[in-house]
Structure 1
Amino acid sequence: MAEAGFSMVLPLLLLVSVLAAAAAGIDRMLRTRDGEGLFWTGLTAFLAVLLTAAWAVTATSAGSAAVGMVVVAGGIAASFWTLRRDRRRRRNRETRQVEAAVTAAATRHREVLARWSAYELDPWLAAEHPQLLDVRTPETRTFIRALKAAEQLRPDGVTAAQAAAYAEAVTTLEDSLRRAEEAAGGGRAA
């Protein structure tokens, strides 16, 4: 009886090892986003599990039910583990993309503020382009409204919708400053 138990342990341990290695290989292929490698890794893993299970069943006829349960449970566990890790990887990738979009929009926002500050802080530029400081000018009024909108939409948390709204507001801000500079008869501030 002990002999039968021991002869069943080795095939089951090998089967569990093959399942774990298969899940790790598939996870690595998902991480690298290599479709062909994923196919071949999955096929190899399937065949390895199938052959190991067949060997375990033939090695221990009494343990065929246990081998079948290990194959099913291990396959399900490996699938859930791989799917969860892939979902987390996708979520992290999306978060990084949204953060990059917010960072790019914030950089453009700072550049616009620097250009505008030059008109406010440089007396020579202010004297050359007084319309840019006069909110009665429609283009300047539009710029000030766009400036307030961009400041209000600057995201604290990062969601895709907030990032898109902020990027759009910064684009509007850039366009309104360009139009205000053109209406004032000047180019960009140095």
Structure 2
Amino acid sequence: MEMMILVLAVLVVLTTVATVGLAGSRAHRHDDPDATFWYAFTGLCVLAPMLLIPAMTSRVLSGALVLLAAGTAIATHMVCRRTADIAAFTSHRAELAAAVTTISHRHQNLIAQWSRYELDPGAAIDFPTMSDVSVPETSALIRAMNAANRLQRRAVEALDLSASGEATHEPSAHVLGAAGPAVMDDDVAHYQRAVSELAAALETAEDSARRYQRG
């Protein structure tokens, strides 16, 4: 008798886990709301006899199985929800990392464009104001460059912090909380805006340098 109860309890747990898991994760993955109903309906059809038939001999046993199924359903739902949150966050972080790579490439190109005035003797002679921080346009360029460098580090650090949380399989509140994705989004957006401002500052400084060269 005890072995039958144990087997029945195991079957209730497995059926509940499968029902909740399929109704939640697979239906969401396939983008089919109707699938949720059918997975749940099928699972309940399988689960109902396991819960109702024992009531014919023992209401206590039937009640215990109902509580077991309810507890298993809640626990499975929480696990599925957490797994889905982590997967969504990981996907979003990957998109932001790709965006940072693209922005960094543009950033480095701008730095290389400015470096020519420092490293190329001919360019340094032809456009001396590009190295003169007393010139307002050049001073603004240096400030924009420093800001872009600082925000690049901040964006990379935010992504690295989230990656370290994923690596331990215990994401912190910063990772999965409401502030986590928002912090990363803001850092990447600020970096992108800083690089755009750097591009504008470099163009303005170059225009000023060409005007100075023409006298």
| Partner residue in 2 for 1:70 | 68
Change (3 A) 1:11 1:43: farther
Instruction: Tell me what 2:208 maps to.
Output: 183
Q: By how many angstroms is 1:90 displaced?
A: 2.4
Greater shift in the superposed pair: 87-96 or 73-82: 87-96
Partners of 1:166 and 1:125 lie apart in 2 by 29
106-115 vs 145-154, greater mean Cα deviation: 145-154
> What is the Cα deviation at residue 112 of structure 1?
0.8
- Structure 2 unmatched runs, 5+: 159-182
Q: Name 2:151's counterpart in structure 1.
A: 153
Distance 1:163 1:91 in 2: 15
AA aligned opposite 1:35: D
Quote how far apart the aligned CAs of 1:151 are: 2.1
TM-score (norm 1): 0.80
Partner residue in 1 for 2:18: 21
Alignment equivalent of 1:35, drawn from 23, 31, 36: 31
CA distance in 1, matches of 2:75, 2:134: 68
Q: Is the 8 A contact 1:8 1:59 kept in 2?
A: no
Match of 1:59 in 2: 53
Secondary structure at the counterpart of residue 60 of structure 1:
helix
Structure 2 residue aligned with 1:46: 40
Looking at structure 1, the residues matched to 41 and 99 of structure 2 have their Cα atoms a distance apart, in angstroms, of 44
**Residue 164 of structure 2 aligns with which residue?**
none
Q: 1:52 to 1:9 in 2, by over 3 A?
A: farther
The answer for the alignment partner of 2:165 in structure 1 is none
Letter of the aligned partner of 1:56 in structure 2? M
Tell me the amino acid that sits aligned with residue 88 of structure 1. Answer: I
* C-alpha distance in 2 between matches for 1:21 and 1:114: 57
Q: Deviations over 1:113-136 (max 9, x none)?
A: 111111211122223322322323
CA contact (8 A) 2:103 2:195 kept: yes
Question: Does the alignment pair 1:103 with 2:67?
Answer: no
Residue 172 (structure 1) aligned to one of 197, 200, 210: 197
Q: Deviation of residue 29 (structure 1)?
A: 4.3
* Structure 2 SS opposite 1:35: coil
Give the number of aligned pairs. Answer: 179
Corresponding position: 1:121 with 2:119:
yes
Q: Contact 2:15 / 2:47 at 8 angstroms: preserved in 1?
A: no
CA distance in structure 2 between the aligned counterparts of 1:59 and 1:101, rounded to whole angstroms: 58
Specify the SS of the correspondent of 2:157: coil
Per-residue deviation, 1:45: 2.9
Residues of 1 paired with 2:99 and 2:20: CA distance?
34
Contact between 1:49 and 1:71, CA under 8 Å: does it hold in 2? no
CA contact (8 A) 1:120 1:133 kept: yes
Q: Which deviates further from its counterpart, 91-100 or 121-130?
A: 91-100
- The Cα RMSD (Å) is 2.4
Which deviates further from its counterpart, 127-136 or 68-77? 127-136
Q: Identity of counterpart residues, as a percentage?
A: 26
What's the CA shift for 1:82? 1.0
Kindly name which structure, 1 or 2, has the bigger radius of gyration based on alpha carbons. 1
